[in-house]
Structure 1
Amino acid sequence: MTDAPYTGGCLCGALRYEARGQPLYMGHCYCADCRKASGSGFIPFMAFAAADLTFSAPTRTFTCVSARGSDAVRNSCPTCASLVFGGPVGQTDSHTIYAGSLDDPSLFRPTMAIFAKGRPDWAVIPEGLEVFEGLPD
């Protein structure tokens, strides 16, 4: 792990973030919502404490119902529409950073795969990840 901050942002550079400290966890989410939001077989994600994150600009938000039944908020750049992070700013203890938005993608080291049940066969889970059919306890 690194002591340097994790930095990243959107495709056009209008929305940037800096995360200090270490991620709470890292993994791949194979749920149907993440697949549709990303246009891929999964979303690689990292979670950070909200207090450890700063964002450079307002976001465009999209809210839907999560697997737990609460609101799931996805934040994207209002200019280029890149999906950057999850969670309502100022209203949650942690945020999910989408690992594809990292400036240095080598910092992403997934340890888990969530919502593996129902994933398409072509969305391969890498060896060595702890696999959960839904959300971990």
Structure 2
Amino acid sequence: MTTREACCSCGQLRVICQGEPVTVALCHCRECQRRTGSAYGIAAFFARADVLVSGTYLDYDRPADSGFRVLHHFCPSCGSTVFWEPSRKPETVAVAVGAFAAPDFPAPRKAVFEQHRHPWAAVVLDR
């Protein structure tokens, strides 16, 4: 079984994920743009039972564009958002793909909120 580790910039907050992600999605919503400081965010959704968190974190709870709430968890030392819990999918935990720092990580299979996509951000999905 594949084991992957994601961590914050300073390494204090770590998330161990077992197995393959349920899905990997690229999100163009404005909140993901603000959260990442980039044109989009990419999340790997894992079954809650396959995720183990170590280290301390602070929370930020916000409404999503879908109307559901999202509880983000970030490192209190470096500020990196490493994982979050979407209330719309309570059986999963989302982990920031960039926190794995693994170029061989599975590619996104879908994109959401494309109406907010930056016109210069061309995306090729692995479908």
Q: Which runs of 5+ in 1 are unaligned?
A: 131-137
Query: What does 1:29-108 correspond to in 2, within 5 Å?
Result: 29-87=27-85, 92-108=90-106
> Residue 117 of structure 1 aligns to a residue in which SS?
helix
Identical aligned residues as a percent: 27
Is the contact made by 2:2 and 2:20 (CA closer than 8 Å) also made in structure 1?
no
1:129 deviation in Å? 4.9
Is the contact made by 2:47 and 2:92 (CA closer than 8 Å) also made in structure 1?
yes
> Residue 16 of structure 2 aligns to a residue in which SS?
strand
**2:122 corresponding residue in structure 1:** 124
CA distance, structure 1, for counterparts of residue 60 and residue 103 of structure 2: 25
CA distance, structure 1, for counterparts of residue 10 and residue 91 of structure 2: 28
Spell out structure 1 runs of 4+ moving beyond 6 A: none
Aligned with residue 21 of structure 2, among 20, 23, 27: 23
TM-score, normalisation: structure 2: 0.88
Say how many residue pairs are matched: 124
> Residue 25 of structure 2 aligns to a residue in which SS?
strand
**1:5 corresponding residue in structure 2:** 3
TM-score, normalisation: structure 1: 0.83
CA distance, structure 1, for counterparts of residue 116 and residue 126 of structure 2: 17
More strand per residue: 1 or 2? 2
CA distance, structure 1, for counterparts of residue 13 and residue 103 of structure 2: 17
Is the contact made by 1:41 and 1:122 (CA closer than 8 Å) also made in structure 2?
no
